[in-house]
Chain A
């Protein structure tokens, strides 16, 4: 035997010896191919960070339980490809630094497979930047924001948003207002950050082309400063505004409509999708918004004939029975419903990469309650791309009309036209379980 061959044999013998030792010493799982973090043959662990307490938590803090309710229903019916889905929830108080820390903990300590349904423009920009989700290949699906910047695939390769972009929303509001309130004096209150700046793009002459008699940009948090909302009312009232668009957060809407009522300022209110739900903050304010216009991409939660609403309500009654089935429950359960489809489309050998690839290839075809199409593709991180308009009824619910017939608009974040949608929503799968 040559020295080289002898050395090779010795190495082989050593490897066999070490291998035998390993076989006896290690659990079986260690010998299988490297496991994807957060997913095993029997479980998938997901994470979410959002405000659960504090002034920004109203409504949003109902989302996790609604999502869990749907996951529980799926788990009770065999799970996703045999895997039970769990959701780890962390409260960030709507603070970017806390959202960063929560996400780091969810990834590093809780070992979640993916983030899902996280809330907020700034928080998710902060997280993507500081936690480096893109480079680490960690999915953050169905983020609840409409900031158009998230469609930058190079900056956010693993993030996807659920809401139509704020540019789309402003374009659709422009069309609605011009058709409904021609020749009226239109005024705008908007938040002076990326959220509001996106809206300004949607309203500008190249997009929605809506002209304002008066507009005010309010810095975030200033809405809570005594005297500030009253100053808005004074200025808009003096300008003779007849239609008042509010593109701000719910607390801004709340203080604004209360100040307006006090000063007997009574315009036609158009409340943007983000800040319309003042009833969640204080149900006593419902009278202030009765008749106000807002928009949604989901059916009205009180629609008596919608099959998705009916099925989600039924599941909710079993798995989240202590909570009221409201628009937040619908949003949460719909997000969970989409998540289950994405996980399923990721395949039996589920990986973070396969999940992201599945969203790109199949995401636009996922069944869901939305009345507008989903927009996911290899070039788009954005979910819904349209809205229907409705008014708040005396119970504080947004309804399209008495007969619950929807006129749905769709558009893009560019200069494309706002058009009536011909989208035909897929039927609710049997038993509310995706195929």
Chain B
């Protein structure tokens, strides 16, 4: 995500413009020859600019007190489609910190740390291009500032995934990494995106195109038409949460579910549970209820659906732009759900926990039956084999393996990058760490056991105990920026805490000891919990 994005607004959140990023054009990258760095020699911090060989605009801020450590920032997902009248523009300007946050940049340069980053040569799903740009940019910086000793990579969202992939592919360049709410590997991330998009289309508006967009402007218009339809669909679902009415555009199968007495909010909740989006959001905690007779019914039957709706509204723009971008890049559809058994994507715990929200087991069975691959009213998406082969041959799939000291932060209810992405990294690391301990025991049997140092610290951005609010009449009140919810909902204090830990790791070669007992964590609404169990992305658990 860049500076302005798909903010959720609880009740006023669903409009075509709010689902699209208000991205500002600086200039599409076109240069193909490296330039710079050209420095202004300013004091106490000089600024250097240039372009990498792929045309990415970059910027460097180097303090006069440069201590040999440099951070390289990777920004989040940006639109690869330019359609200014619809609020879609391409921004390839250099980014050196989250939103080029001046306070964070100053915090670093005041410490003698240089701060660099680029705008990347292309937007959309740009992981492979961005890793190459970053590797080149580190080389450019080191050539210019030859006393460079340590490099710390950091980024969030798409940039979190880029940072992780950078560390996996070029550990020799990095001393530490800060990975914040990273995208998962494309296979997992695209399943999350397209499951959401397809399930919504399938039940609530089959006229949505979703796949097979034309090239160029025609395709842009087709995608924008889809955005408008998703917007109308979500507005309709929001308006009928209480009544349970289905959108007029719903499929025949959906109308049969409606006739059977299943409310649309149950289907909406089912979409969320099958895709794996959180059922707790900035406004809806699933715990508090209005001080009325609905005090129990509200959090069980309504809040999960409304939270799902709020979260979907926050991710659907990314999902559609990302899916369409990949179709353009690969020359066809790479997603395939022709054999997906969606019934398997409903966990036993979800079936029980959200039972009232689903309207019971009979309703669950009815909804899942309409998702049978043989139902002609629910046509599946079949991947284009040429596009699929191209994607498999050309795209790097992040492994989540930790190769340099890494600090990860994610909101436990991030709607764009579910916490399960990081949970998987943490779980895999625990296996690796256990193996490293065993190996250390084995090799040090003679001289005594020397425990290996942890290379990964995961900081979960957590919610308050309850946060939903209601009017005296029992109506929900929108709540913005609840900690632990939303996408890249982080504070400058959290950024600097992570950076300090990463700079220490870069300096010493290991993460700070006892990070989990740091008193600042509670104040920062962060926690380290090695017993966490956020569900992995569905790609890993049902494929």
Contacts and interface: CB of A to CB of B under 8 A. Distances in A.
Interface stretch (A41-49, A81-89, A191-199, A372-380): A191-199
A140 B363 CA distance: 31
Please report whether the interface of chain B is mostly helix, strand, loop or mixed according to DSSP: helix
Interface string B280-307: 1000011100000101110111000000
A107 B532 CA distance: 12
B355 A95 contact: no
A159 to B, nearest CB: 13
Interface stretch (A214-222, A234-242, A326-334, A388-396): A214-222
B361 A130 contact: no
Nearest to A124: B352
B360 interface: yes
Interface residues of A, number: 38
B356 A135 contact: no
B401 interface: no
Nearest to B297: A221
A121 interface: yes
B243 interface: no
Contacts of A93: 287, 295-296, 299
A95 B356 CA distance: 11
A219 B348 CA distance: 17
A365 to B, nearest CB: 32
A429 interface: no
A59 interface: no
A433 interface: no
B296 A54 contact: yes
B529 A108 contact: yes
Given A97-B280, A149-B348, A219-B356, A131 B531 contact: yes
Interface string B338-369: 00000000011101110110011111000000
A132 B531 contact: yes
Contacts of A197: 361
A95 B299 contact: yes
A64 B349 CA distance: 26
Contacts of B359: 219, 222
Q: Which of A94, A95, A108, A122 has the most CB of B within 10 A?
A: A95
Contacts of B348: 125, 149, 155
Interface residues of B, number: 29
B353 A55 contact: no
Interface string A93-137: 111111001000001100000000000011001101111100110
Contact of B285 (A94, A97, A122, A194): A97
Given A54-B295, A95-B296, A194-B352, A132 B360 contact: no
A217 to B, nearest CB: 6
A122 B352 contact: yes
Contacts of B299: 93, 95, 97
A224 interface: yes
Given A54-B296, A55-B296, A217-B362, A122 B355 contact: yes
B347 A129 contact: yes
A56 interface: yes
Contact of B361 (A56, A136, A196, A221): A196
B176 to A, nearest CB: 28
Q: Which of A97, A98, A121, A218 has the most CB of B within 10 A?
A: A97
A369 B241 CA distance: 48
A9 to B, nearest CB: 14
B347 A95 contact: no
A126 B531 contact: no
Nearest to B261: A219
Interface string A196-230: 11000000000000000000011111101000000
A93 B286 CA distance: 12
B199 to A, nearest CB: 22
B530 to A, nearest CB: 9
B465 interface: yes
B352 A95 contact: no
B531 A193 contact: no
B362 A126 contact: no
14 contacts: A54-B296, A95-B287, A95-B299, A97-B287, A122-B355, A125-B352, A126-B349, A132-B532, A191-B360, A193-B360, A217-B360, A220-B355, A220-B360, A221-B300
Which 9 interchain pairs have the tightest Cβ spacing? A192-B360, A219-B360, A132-B533, A129-B349, A122-B352, A97-B286, A220-B356, A193-B355, A96-B353
